[in-house]
Each structure stands twice: as structure tokens, then as C-alpha cells.
Structure 1
Amino acid sequence: MSTNAGASNGAGSWTPHALAAVAWLAGLSDEEFELQVRQVASSLNLPVLSLRNAVKARRKRDSAEHANYEAAERARSRSSAEDDSTDSPDDRGRVGLFVDGADLPTTAMEVGKVLADVPNLFVRDGPVRVDWDVALNGFVAEPLTVAGVVNGVHDLRRPWHYRKSRSGKLTRAYTTLPDRAAVLYLDRASGSGLRPLNGIASSPLLHEDGTMRVTEGYDPATRLWCQRVPEIVVPARPTQDDAARAFLMLRHHFRTFAFADAFLRTEQGQSFPVVDTGRPPGDEPSRVCRRPMSLSQAATAISCWRA
């Protein structure tokens, strides 16, 4: 065996036993390699420098082969992931979602596309989920968690990745969406594709032009989630008398608010003063009792109380 040839060209004329030793050394960590290289060189009757050069060449070759393998796998997997038409739905109607372990940010973007159409997911200082709270007997907006992302994706899609079999062939295998992909998705709050949520409302929505909207669920114009909004009946063109009666009822409803600039009186049987609604109002600094309330606002408020 020519050690000079082995040292100069990596492994061109080495024995199978020496080549196996080089492959084994190439797979060790740097610390383990330093502990073993001199002993292996002595057992093979090789110069240490020759063995080091051979291992270095083997690692370089293995690294290049691994990079080529990863590139080919990524190209093949992306091609398969883009062609969902070939992915037959399962018994729950879910098609596949490719999980690229080498590029989880891209997987997180695909998660965003999947969840963007979920009707109760929104953005409010980060992704949130609107759910029914039994204790409160109403809807609440809660921050979307990592587990919530994973559950939401699996409700709609079936994540999969490529797995290398013993024969070296790449095969599809179903998997659970990695938590890291969910974390990356949650970090992309502004680019999640979800609709914005300003809050939850239980009253008719008043627009700038004075029109009113009664709806259930999400209202895109106000970005509010509406629940249990009462039906209202108001005149198409309220008169001044309608507004005056509505305003009087508003003042009566809030008469126990002891505004500093209001005329007060003490009603019979009560020990605390209330606003004297028989006298003109002061500023009464409350949006619902302030004089500039529009006709439609007053009529809407009065209809809500009647309901």
C-alpha cells in the first residue's frame, strides 16, 4: 500500500479496510476525531498527516453530496407541494400541507394561507381567536397560541414531509405540524393575512353618515365582531319631536349620574340627588347625554332600551 498516494489523492489507492476507517473518522466530531486519529493511523501503519488529509477530503465530499441531496429533495418536495390536485383528500376532506424541515419560514407562510380563511381568526395586537365563553355567556377574543395554530392547521390540512427509507428512497410521511412553524407564523402578525378586529359589540353600529347597521358576526366596515344586537325600528326621517323625546329618555336613564354642571333634585323616597330632567341640560359630559347627539343616534339609543 502506497501511503504517499493515499496522502496525495485522498483515497485513490487505499485498501477497503483503510477506506472504512476514513469514513468512520469522518463521521466523528472534531473532539472525538482528535482522540482517535493517531491510534487509527498507527493501526493502519499510515502517517497521521496522510490520514488527516484523507478524512478532510472525505468530509468535503460528504458535505457536497449532502448539499446536492438537500437541494434535490427541496426542489422535488416543493413541486409536489404546489400540486395539491394530486393529493387526494382524506375522510375529513383534508389535503396535504408540505412541511419543509429545511425551510420552516416558508412552511409558516403556507400556514398563514391556510388559516387566513378561518372565520373566527383575526389580528388584534397579534393573531386572536373569537370563541364563545360559557361563563361569560358571550364571545371573547383570546390570543392564538402555538397549540391553537397546530390544531387549526390540522382541522383543515394534513401536514406531511419527506422521509428517507432504508433503501435511500424519499417517501411521503404524515406528521404533526412542528411547534417551530407555529411560532414563526405567530411572529408574522402583520403578514398573517387575517382580518383586523377592533373589538366586540352588542349594540347597533352607527356610521359617520348617521346610518345604522344591525348585524351578527364580523362587520368589515367597523372591524367589530357583533353579537346579540337587538333589532331596532326607527323612523326613516326622524323629526325634531322624535329627537326631543329620545333625548329626554336618555337623560332620564342617566339621571343618577351626578354631573357637576347639571340641575339636581332629590326624588321622593330617595336619599341621593338626580338630574332634574325637567330643566335644560348643562354640558353633562357624557357622550350619551351631551346635547349634540344626532337624531339617528338618539332614536337608535331609545330603540335599544325599548328592546
Structure 2
Amino acid sequence: MTGPPRITESVSRAAEVLLNGGIIGMPTETVYGLAACALDERAVNRVFTTKGRPKNHPLIVHLPSLEQCMDWGVFSTSAIALGNAFWPGPLTLLVERTELVPNWVTGNRDTVALRVPQHEATLELLRQVNTGVVAPSANKFGRVSPTTALHVLSDLGDDVDLILDGGSCEFGIESTIVECIGSEIRILRPGAITASDIFDVLGDSPALDSTDSRAPGMLASHYSPVARVVLCETPEQAENLSAQSEMQGVKARMLWHEDAGTYAERLYSDLRAADEESCEIVFAVLPEADGIGVAIRDRLTKAAHHA
């Protein structure tokens, strides 16, 4: 396709673009993804090129049901239990791949990341496409993830063929990634599905390992705005540092929401707003390391790590 990207609410139009080898901005309940049909090598290569993402970084494959996911991955009893409990929803399962899965999706690894998103328009899109769809966040690699269609347009412009507008993302941060291989249950990326949620289903507490390269978003520096992010332990500390910076002529912004769910939902929009306001520093308050607060701390820590 040529010309500027078009924002649409037409699911059938978005499906047509994907089936014709195009790439689109796709809404989910977590963040907007840059979507392509997983079995179309040329389209997937466009995703890597458009994002500036290294091709050895694995991609998450999105499908409309657990049953279809089982064509793409080898599911243990635990994986099936988690899929039944949380799909559709903000959970990605890392499992052994089947022969259906091509190397360009997995970065030549023996595992594949699979998810059933909880967004009605996207589920309908996946049903119409009737194959796996890769969809890493629809932004330049390492930068702040998009949570609205306009964020995608701002970041990627005419590099995408179409943007399916599904409104603002419900959760605002990426899915929880859980490794389910054999008896091994590990959280590789924290998200809205928490360790406590997983314990309630399996009766075991999963280990947390946010350094495993088999899952997306594992770099020390990620989710970064242009502004420098400084981590603070309390709102008072952030407020004082922000005021001091302003007195010194340095434009600053404080980042904090008392409610953790609201903090997660607005996190990326607030980081983007700091850049739009030409802030030099963002003083971000770390929430309690509990529930979705674990995921917020993970994203803020990576946003504050300047490679």
C-alpha cells in the first residue's frame, strides 16, 4: 500500500490488509501491536524493519482461542490450566513450539510465545484472518509502548498500512509472560496477571526471572521516553526533586498515581506526555512491589536504565 496510513474501526478492512501481506496497528487490552500474519515471512520482516527490532528477538503469536494455540505450541497440564483460567486476557504462555511455527517468529528458538487477547475487535480480527498474528508493540524498538491509535500514528506514521482503532487500552502495560515447559513455571515478564493469580490456579508460586532472552521486553533498557527517568521511593521525594529542578530551569514532571491499576493504565501515556511537553526529567514514584505494582516497577526500572 502507498500513501498515509488510515485509521479505521472496520475489522474486515484490517483483516483484508493482513491477508494481503500488509502490517497494521492492532489494539489489544494491553498495548497496541504492530501486526502481521505470522506465517508470512515478508510481512514479519516488515515488522522487524519498521520497529528497528533485532530479528533474534522472539515475537508473540496472537490467536483467537486456546484450541488454536495448541496447534502452535506443546501445552503441559499447567499451561492448559492457565489458558483456561486467563484467556482471553493479558497472559502470554511460553511453550515448546510445534512444527507449524517458523524460525522467523521465534528467533530460531525451540519455544514460542502465545496469547489470546481480551479485546472484542481484535478477537474478531483474528477469527477472520484465521491464522496466527504476530504483534509486538507498535512503536520504535526500546521506546514507550502505544496505548491509543494516535500513539501508533505518531510513532510509525506511513510505515504502517492501516491502524485499527479499538480505543484506549484497558490495562496499559504488556501481558504477563509465563514459561510453562514441563514442570517449570516461571514469570519472565510481570504484568496484570500476578504471581498470586497464578498461585490461585496452580497451587504453586511461580519463580520470577525477568532476564530470560526467550521472552520479549527483556533488555535492561526498554520502554524509554526521550526524557530521563529518575526513580523515587515516595511521592514527597518526587515532588521535591521536581520543584528543585524547575527552580534550576530544568523542565520536570512527576509521575505517580495512588491507585496501581490507574498507574498502569496511564503509565505510557504519561511518559509520552512528558516528551510532548519537552520535559528533561521525569521523577517517577515506584509503587509497592505487590500485584500489578510489580509490573509497573519493572517497566519504570527499564525506562530509567539508559544504555
Q: Name the TM-score, length of structure 1 as normaliser.
A: 0.21
User: Higher relative contact order at CA 8 Å, sep ≥6: structure 1 or structure 2?
Assistant: 2
TM-score, normalised on structure 2?
0.21
Structure (1 or 2) with the larger CA radius of gyration: 1
